[in-house]
Amino acid sequence: MQQSSANSQPDRPTLDNKLVPAHSTITPATPHVRAAGGYREVVSLAFPLVLSMLSQTIMTAVESAFLGHFGTVEQGAAGLAGALLWPLLLSCNWSGIGVQICVAQSIGAQRRADCGAFTWQGMYVSLLAWLFLILAGLGAPLIVQLSAPSPALVVPTVLYLRIELLGSLPGLLNLSLVGFFRGLGDTKTPLMVTLVVELLGALLDVLFIFGVAGFPRLGIAGAALSTVSATTVGTVIYLCLCLRRGRREGFLTQPRIPFDRGTCWRLVRLSWPIGAHGALDMGAWTLFTALIARLGTVEAAAHAIAIRVISLAYMAGYGISVAATTLVGRYLGAQEPVAARRSMRSCLMLTLLLMGSMGCGGAVGSPSGTLRGAVPTFRWPEPQCHGRVARRWTDSLAYAGRAPGELGSVRPECGAGHVALAGRHHWWLGRRVGLCHPAGVGAPVACAAWWLVSR
């Protein structure tokens, strides 16, 4: 008889008379698999986006501070011109979000060659949109006169607005090129390019505004020229990186893809709802800024820097929504609607948590005055600007209704761009109510309106 080893035992019968080993087998632990579209995935994609948008907002505030050193009139004029500029730019954003959606869906469906094709068509659409901005630039005096600002603000506002509109082609092209990288799920490359562009823009601001190192002292015109120049450098960097990566990873089958009317129209249909509701949103700020500009140059300057600081409050929510746009598009392209819905829910909860905490912090800090001391002290010629900025900032941080408006950005991927537009309109009404109350009463109103419209 064969002897068993020292640590072996005879097999034991079971209830059905089958022999099983005496030692129970140990089942290896199943590795934990993260659910697609979960919180970790949204955060990892959104974090570089948030940093990129925060850096853009901070550097815009720095430019406003530079103009404050140059003169209060120039600072107020730049703020009014920016308020007039952004609705025009957003209304001509006919390709950026469309490229991101189509590239994300192509990646999900394993159609890599389509990514480069959509990017090229997006650049063609941007070129067509630029023609409308050229017309707006030529009509800049009429646009500024419609806002009826203080007489001292008219000439510098027209100058700044005209330079920005006529030189807006690089910015429009960047929307398509950034959409390419975001659609691939690469948010780190746009972050690095944005940091380079913003640092270059700050350096050019010093050179062109104040005339340092032999450069001409251009004032507000120098601020506009530095922005256009830095953006052009960013376009060249984006284009080189896009062509290099496209050839290396198979996204571009040829260096240049001819114009295709059907694809361009698809991009426009996907992008125009987001551009339209963004223009409506910024239109509200424009109307409010125009009213402030009628009060005088000091009020316009204080409002300009306050708007820059306030924008920091909702950049994080917007970054999360852009990340969800990529994830929803990718999972819809891969025919995984469950993961797409999970991405949307993760975005919803993160944005509500983040923006709600900011709204509560503003509501608590505003009455006690704790937030007033946190306002950066920019050296204005008129010291009374600082107190007005502090009051404007603390009153505006009290609302927490931004989340529903940002979440509307992912709706066009499900074929419901008009729903996003209607949801933004109802959110805007709710937010106006929130601004009237320091505790942010508009937040639940906006949430309820967005939920009812988006069903």
Q: Give the pLDDT score at 430.
A: 31
Residues of the domain holding 172:
39-368+386-454
Q: Give the pLDDT score at 361.
A: 67
In a domain, 241, yes or no: yes
CA distance 378 to 78: 15
Q: What is the pTM of this model?
A: 0.74
Q: Give the pLDDT score at 231.
A: 96
Number of Cα atoms under 13 Å in the Cβ half of residue 415: 1
In a domain, 198, yes or no: yes
Both tokens of residue 141? 């005096």
In a domain, 14, yes or no: no
Q: Give the pLDDT score at 364.
A: 63
Q: Is 454 exposed, middle or buried (0-12, 13-18, 19+ CB in 10 A)?
A: middle
> How many structural domains does the chain have?
1
* Residue closest to 100 by CA, chosen among 382, 415, 417, 412: 412
In a domain, 262, yes or no: yes
Q: Judge contact between 398 and 440, C-beta under 8 A.
A: yes
Q: Give the pLDDT score at 102.
A: 93
**Residue pLDDT, tens place only, 81-122:** 988 998 999 889 989 889 999 999 999 999 999 999 999 999
Residues of the chain with pLDDT under 70: 1-35, 361-455
Q: Give the pLDDT score at 245.
A: 93
In a domain, 139, yes or no: yes
Kindly state the DSSP code that residue 251 receives in the 8-state scheme: S
Q: Is 31 exposed, middle or buried (0-12, 13-18, 19+ CB in 10 A)?
A: exposed
In a domain, 274, yes or no: yes
Q: Give the pLDDT score at 122.
A: 95
* Residue closest to 290 by CA, chosen among 32, 25, 83, 68: 83
Q: Give the pLDDT score at 11.
A: 46
Q: Give the pLDDT score at 279.
A: 84
